[in-house]
Amino acid sequence: MRDVIRKMLEAEAEAKRIVQEAGAQAERLLAEARRQAQKLAERARRETAAEADRIIQTAERDAEREKKERLDEIASEMDAELKVSEDARRAAVEAVVQSVCGKS
């Protein structure tokens, strides 16, 4: 009977040890999973930040290019509006000369 009790106590001790080892292993696995999740989250943040920077740079370049195109377009429009024909230029020069020289 003592032998049976001793074997039961040994079996309980072995079961307790197995449960403790399983708990410790579960904690190690959980800690490793957390570290991996942190690494993945950090990498995702870095990649997202890098992509956001690329998008911003592209948008800035596009905006600068569009601004230049608009300025060029406005300058062309202004040049077209400010052009005076050769006849109008001669008439203006003659009017100034007549005014300065006092000829009517």
Q: Are 104 and 98 within 8 A, CB to CB?
A: yes
For residue 84, the SS3 value is coil
**pLDDT of amino acid 103:** 64
Return the domain boundaries, the chain. 2-101
Place of tokens 């410790």: 24
**pLDDT of amino acid 18:** 95
Note if the pTM is more than 0.85: no
Q: Which residues of the chain have pLDDT under 50?
A: none
Which ranges of 1-104 would DSSP assign to H, the alpha helix? 2-82, 86-101
